[in-house]
């Protein structure tokens, strides 16, 4: 709670500073947050009951930014992830915190990409012959029963070369016999409408953009896909460079939530950059198997003693269904609260229709009680009110903004 109150105050101050500077893309003195039609569609789709009525009563807003709302890669349900356009949409939808996944280039500069080696599915690199030739694995078309193969990494090219690429919707067709066919693989629940030429971002550009908006940052140090050290570049230097980008600009560590899946990165920040380490987010993927989930739950007190303050597993691990068919906090969530750790969930709006396989991965522990898309809000309500998560990542921030504003989060 303390964190949230302090963050709220800082948010106010930061916005004030932005007004004086008057900079930033799409800058306006006061932001008219737009949640669009999707939250209304989801509320209408909900089963009758207390929560639906409470949400209906909030239909006319007003809507404003909330730190509960964390833009996951921007707004990639419809906009190419980690692009200027995607971040801009996220801000308009009321995200208080915007994410950049951080990867390094051949010249050891930091850029925003979800995976060090996803350029072949998230950009048009294959349409640039001179750059495609530099890919770790150049493109080989599908043939017969063999799928196409290709792997292009940020570390294959320089930052300047990276900036010449267009961001596209993440997806590929493994059966592609041409580059065009291969690149055409956007999932059914997303759209190519805004996938014309997304403006890819360096980490520095992202910081200046989000800073100009007076919002908060959550950079994720992506696990390298190349052996470290890479051409002399160590994991520690990489972790340090990410933090240095904020220090250089005098950005308060209280506005920065560095994340990593690697405990050693979190411990590095706790030890070497304690002001940033205090807000470091440990992305806990150990929960992905039942045994890993048990181990992870058991390890929480030791992580707390080591200085870890924020845990972030995939949100399925935070709830379960009890004997009465009710969605309730999971053992993991209870253990985290007992250790006085903050919890963040990921990621909303990545599942498409929840009618398919009960929502799949993100709804794994509650799928038996999921039967319509409106159930998204039922799960979110348990996460917000009972697990008391501090925030949630979403591919479409507006869905969260509607809920967060309705319940004063
Ligand atoms: C690729 O081809 C395989 C085998 O014919 C098929 O099962 C699969 O659905 C195809 N995938 C796509 C994305 O078209
Ligand atoms: C869980 O912990 C046990 C005991 O320390 C260990 O042997 C096992 O490999 C762990 N399993 C996973 C999946 O982490």
In a domain, residue 313? The reply is yes
Exposed / middle / buried, residue 169 (Cβ in 10 Å: 0-12, 13-18, 19+) = buried
Q: Is the CB of 175 under 6 A from ligand 1?
A: yes
In a domain, residue 122? The reply is no
- 115 and 225 Cβ atoms separated by less than 8 Å: yes
How much distance in Å is there from the Cα of 145 to the middle of ligand 1? Answer: 9
In a domain, residue 293? The reply is yes
Residue bearing the CA closest to ligand 1, atom 7 = 175
Residue bearing the CA closest to ligand 2, atom 5 = 295
In a domain, residue 7? The reply is no
Residue bearing the CA closest to ligand 2, atom 2 = 295
* Helices 331-338/290-305 angle, 10° precision: 0
Q: Is the CB of 372 under 6 A from ligand 1?
A: no
**What distance separates the 2 farthest-apart alpha carbons in the chain?**
61
Token pair 């833009």: residue: 71
Cα→Cα distances 243→238, 258, 260, 266, 370, Å:
9, 8, 13, 12, 40
Residue bearing the CA closest to ligand 1, atom 4 = 145
Cα→Cα distances 149→119, 157, 178, 182, Å:
13, 19, 11, 10
CA-175 nearest atom, ligand 1: 1
Residue bearing the CA closest to ligand 1, atom 10 = 175
Residue 35: give its domain's CATH number. Answer: 3.20.20.190
Cα→Cα distances 55→143, 326, 378, 402, Å:
51, 20, 11, 8
Range of the domain at 317: 30-115+200-406
How much distance in Å is there from the Cα of 290 to the middle of ligand 2? Answer: 11
Residue 61 zone, left/alpha/beta (φ > 0; ψ -120 to 50; rest): left
pLDDT, position 29? 61
313 DSSP β-pair partners: 284
pLDDT, position 18? 39
Number of domain units in the chain: 1
Residue bearing the CA closest to ligand 2, atom 3 = 295
In a domain, residue 269? The reply is yes
H helix count then E strand count, the chain? 16, 15
In a domain, residue 11? The reply is no
Ligand nearest to the CA of 293: 2
How much distance in Å is there from the Cα of 176 to the middle of ligand 1? Answer: 10
Q: Is the CB of 186 under 6 A from ligand 1?
A: no
User: What pTM was computed for the model?
Assistant: 0.92
Residue in 383, 336, 136 with CA at minimum distance from that of residue 391 = 383
Cα(first)–Cα(last) distance of the chain, in Å?
A: 11
Cα→Cα distances 358→58, 145, 321, 330, Å:
27, 31, 13, 18
Q: Which helix (H) or strand (E) holds 292?
A: helix 290-305
- DSSP E strands in 210-364: the ranges are 216-221, 259-260, 281-284, 310-313, 319-321, 327-329, 342-348
Alpha-carbon Rg of the chain, whole angstroms? 21
Alpha helices in 133-202 (DSSP H): 159-163, 179-183
Q: Is the CB of 291 under 6 A from ligand 2?
A: yes
Per the structure block, which two tokens stand in for 252? 């308060």
pLDDT, position 3? 43
Q: Is the CB of 292 under 6 A from ligand 2?
A: yes
pLDDT, position 8? 42
Per the structure block, which two tokens stand in for 318? 């935070």
**Within 13 Å and on the Cβ side, how many CA atoms surround 11?**
17
In a domain, residue 130? The reply is no
Residue bearing the CA closest to ligand 1, atom 3 = 175
pLDDT, position 12? 40
Sequential pLDDT tens for the chain (409 residues)? 344 444 444 444 444 333 334 344 455 567 999 999 999 999 999 999 999 999 999 999 999 999 999 999 999 999 999 999 999 999 999 999 999 999 999 999 999 999 999 999 999 999 999 999 999 999 999 999 999 999 999 999 999 999 999 999 999 999 999 999 999 999 999 999 999 999 999 999 999 999 999 999 999 999 999 999 999 999 999 999 999 999 999 999 999 999 999 999 999 999 999 999 999 999 999 999 999 999 999 999 999 999 999 999 999 999 999 999 999 999 999 999 999 999 999 999 999 999 998 899 999 999 999 999 999 999 999 999 999 999 999 999 999 999 999 999 9
Sign for the CA dihedral angle at 237, 242, 248, 254 comes to: negative
In a domain, residue 162? The reply is no
């Amino acid at each position: 709670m303390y964190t949230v109150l302090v963050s709220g105050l800082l948010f106010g101050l930061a916005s004030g500073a932005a007004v004086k500077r008057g900079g930033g893309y799409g800058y306006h003195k006061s932001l008219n947050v737009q949640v669009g039609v999707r939250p209304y569609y989801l509320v209408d789709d909900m089963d009758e009951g207390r929560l639906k009525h409470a949400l209906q009563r909030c239909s006319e807003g007003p809507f404003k930014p909330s730190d509960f709302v964390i833009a996951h890669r921007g707004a990639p349900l419809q906009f190419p992830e980690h692009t200027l356009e995607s971040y801009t949409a996220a801000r308009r939808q009321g995200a208080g915190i915007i994410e950049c996944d951080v990867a390094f280039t051949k010249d050891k500069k930091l850029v925003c990409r979800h995976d060090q080696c996803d350029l072949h599915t998230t950009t048009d690199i294959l349409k640039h012959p001179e750059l495609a030739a530099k890919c770790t694995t150049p493109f080989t078309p599908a043939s017969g029963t063999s799928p196409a193969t290709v792997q292009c990494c940020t570390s294959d090219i320089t930052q300047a070369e990276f900036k010449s690429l267009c961001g596209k919707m993440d997806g590929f067709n493994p059966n592609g016999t041409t580059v065009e066919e291969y690149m055409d693989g956007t999932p059914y629940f997303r759209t190519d409408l805004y996938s014309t030429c997304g403006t890819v971002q360096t980490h520095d550009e992202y910081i200046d953009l989000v800073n100009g908006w007076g919002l908060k940052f959550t950079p994720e140090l992506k696990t390298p896909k190349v052996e470290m050290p890479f051409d002399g570049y160590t994991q520690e230097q990489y972790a340090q460079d990410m933090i240095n980008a904020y220090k250089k600009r005098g950005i308060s560590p209280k506005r920065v939530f560095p994340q990593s899946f690697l405990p050693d990165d979190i411990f590095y920040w706790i030890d070497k950059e304690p002001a940033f380490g205090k807000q470091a987010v440990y992305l806990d993927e150990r929960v992905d198997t039942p045994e890993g989930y048990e181990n992870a739950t058991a390890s929480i007190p030791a992580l707390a003693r080591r200085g870890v303050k924020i845990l972030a597993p995939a949100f399925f691990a935070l709830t379960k269904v009890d004997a009465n068919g009710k969605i309730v906090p999971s053992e993991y969530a209870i253990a985290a609260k007992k250790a006085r750790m903050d919890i963040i969930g990921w990621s909303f709006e990545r599942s498409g229709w929840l009618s398919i396989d009960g929502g799949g991965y993100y709804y794994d522990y509650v799928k038996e009680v999921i039967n319509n898309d409106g159930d998204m809000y039922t799960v979110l309500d348990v996460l917000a009110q009972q697990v008391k998560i501090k925030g949630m990542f979403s591919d479409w921030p507006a869905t969260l903004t509607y809920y967060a504003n309705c319940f004063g989060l």
